[in-house]
């Protein structure tokens, strides 16, 4: 998974991976597992789903959902986009991830973040970390997860999390990529230093801002002698000239042209979020948009 990302002034980055964002809706008629099967049939590289367990609308818990998705598919990778670290102790995430990765034949991408929604933490009685504590917890969580994946009797004492001679068996038999959804200065530096991938969202980091944030990730990665996969999470709609300001929309050619500009910002992969009828949009993207991106 560790795709090399070019740093500045080397021309557009070749786009290598294309994913589809699944809805976690549990409303009547929703079928995210069926949607994932379709994504696999359409030869997308991965599917992803977000982590928002609290809400008035019916939804599935993301880890349970992706477990069902992995069981119902055979090739496509599954990604958390992204797990909020405060929801689950990182040592348990390490165990959960190893199990899902093993059951799925090595298809898990573990997306992590510091935790976005303070209202959700408050509602579930989890406490509300400060911004600094969120970054500290994310960094400590990664150290614990990777430590448990690789070392026996692993001990870690941090300000947010700790382990005491913890053993995790079996350990992963192949690497599990960690992607981070980050935006702040400290979190971006940690992404470049620790992560395999960076997955910002179009709504939180519009293209011009994303290009600046990406340079911070890459500077930290270069200083650490590492490479990071840059994946842009983009809402898309094929068929109408304009859906809303936060959606890349238009004809297939217009959507492809717009998405290609993001390769010029250094994004080697896309997580496409279909707006509208999921299956119709997935088919349009697979037949009319992705081939243009893959051939450019």
Contact 76, 109 (CB under 8 A): no
Contact 108, 174 (CB under 8 A): no
Cis ω for the linkage preceding 219 (within 30 of 0): no
pLDDT tens track for 163-195: 999 999 999 999 999 999 999 999 999 999 999
pLDDT tens track for 118-130: 999 999 999 999 9
Q: In the block, which residue shows the tokens 């021309």?
A: 11
Instruction: Report pLDDT for 12.
Output: 64
Work out the number of other CB atoms within 10 angstroms of the CB of residue 252. Answer: 17
- Residue 70 structure tokens: 């992995």
C-alpha span between 244 and 231 (Å, rounded): 22
Mean pLDDT calculated for residue range 270-294: 97
In this model, does residue 7 exceed pLDDT 70?
no
Instruction: Report pLDDT for 266.
Output: 93
- Residue 216 structure tokens: 């911070």
C-alpha span between 29 and 240 (Å, rounded): 25
Q: Structure pTM? A: 0.94
Contact 184, 131 (CB under 8 A): yes
């Amino acid at each position: 998974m560790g795709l090399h990302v070019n740093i500045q002034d080397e021309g557009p980055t070749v786009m290598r991976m294309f994913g589809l964002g699944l809805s976690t809706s549990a409303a009547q008629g929703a079928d995210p597992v069926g949607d994932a099967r379709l994504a696999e049939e359409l030869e997308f590289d991965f599917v992803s789903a977000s982590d928002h367990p609290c809400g008035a609308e019916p939804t599935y818990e993301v880890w349970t959902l992706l477990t069902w998705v992995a069981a119902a598919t055979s090739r496509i990778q599954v990604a958390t986009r992204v797990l909020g670290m405060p929801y689950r102790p990182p040592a348990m995430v390490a165990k959960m991830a190893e199990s899902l990765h093993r059951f799925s034949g090595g298809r898990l991408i573990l997306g992590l973040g510091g935790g976005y929604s303070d209202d959700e933490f408050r509602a579930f009685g989890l406490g509300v970390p400060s911004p600094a504590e969120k970054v500290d917890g994310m960094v400590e969580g990664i150290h614990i997860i990777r430590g448990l994946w690789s070392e026996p009797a692993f001990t870690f004492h941090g300000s947010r999390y700790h382990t005491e001679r913890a053993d995790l068996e079996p350990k992963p038999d192949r690497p599990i990529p960690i992607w981070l959804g980050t935006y702040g200065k400290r979190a971006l530096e940690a992404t470049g230093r620790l992560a395999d991938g960076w997955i910002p969202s179009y709504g939180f980091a519009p293209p011009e801002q994303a290009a600046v944030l990406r340079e911070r990730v890459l500077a930290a990665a270069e200083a650490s002698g590492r490479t990071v996969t840059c994946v842009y999470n983009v809402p898309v709609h094929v068929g109408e000239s304009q859906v809303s300001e936060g959606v890349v929309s238009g004809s297939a050619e217009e959507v492809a042209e717009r998405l290609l500009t993001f390769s010029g910002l250094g994004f080697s992969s896309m997580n496409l979020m279909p707006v509208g009828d999921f299956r119709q949009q997935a088919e349009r993207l697979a037949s009319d948009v992705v081939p243009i991106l893959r051939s450019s």
